[in-house]
Amino acid sequence: MARSDDSAPTVSALIAQADALARASVLLKREGEKFAAWWGGPGVVTAPDANHRHWLSIDCRFLPEGLGPDSGVLSIYTDEEDGESGFAVHDPQARLPRADAPLEGEPLYAHPSPSLPPPDAFDDGDADDAYLVHWQAHCPMYADDIVAVLGGWHFPWPDGDWEQNRERALLAWTLDESEPWVEVWGGGAAFQVMQRVT
């Protein structure tokens, strides 16, 4: 969709625009120094029933500033019966187990990183193939070592709901062990969990 007329922005101009639109995010990886989350296992904040799978428990201090609770632990579960939803449970007094605790699951470590908007963010359609390549090189979905992401821009799923979620707060999304990919939306005490499949 690149254009040759003089009004079309250059790739460098699009990248500069994307940098200005970048959102704060935290990449969760299996290696690092800042212990921030627990992957798998039974969950730190207990699920209300047995029909849910625990994916991720987050030390909320590592959520990007202004995004969700800033203390305690947020545990994310999916509903294994409907295959579409789930829930996130926050306990402001909870703490993660130690990273070396002999528990089922894995410790994850925080790596702050700017999140670039996908080409869908450019309403005028000026995001050309060169920007797509640039975005994919920086998008966690296309990396091999990222387990989950806190904050940042949401992914343009085939469902076609990208625009309606544009102003919503994405707290977390999982990458490892997909499908499904699990998203947590909302802030304060209200959370929505969505399972994505393609």
Q: Which two tokens stand for residue 38?
A: 């627990």
Record the pTM: 0.90
For the stretch 102-111, pLDDT in tens is 888 999 999 9
For the stretch 16-73, pLDDT in tens is 888 888 999 999 999 999 999 999 998 999 987 778 999 999 999 999 998 889 999 9
Of 85, 38, 67, the residue nearest 172 (C-alpha)? 67
pLDDT at 6 over 60: no
Strands (E), 60-121: 73-79, 86-91, 106-115
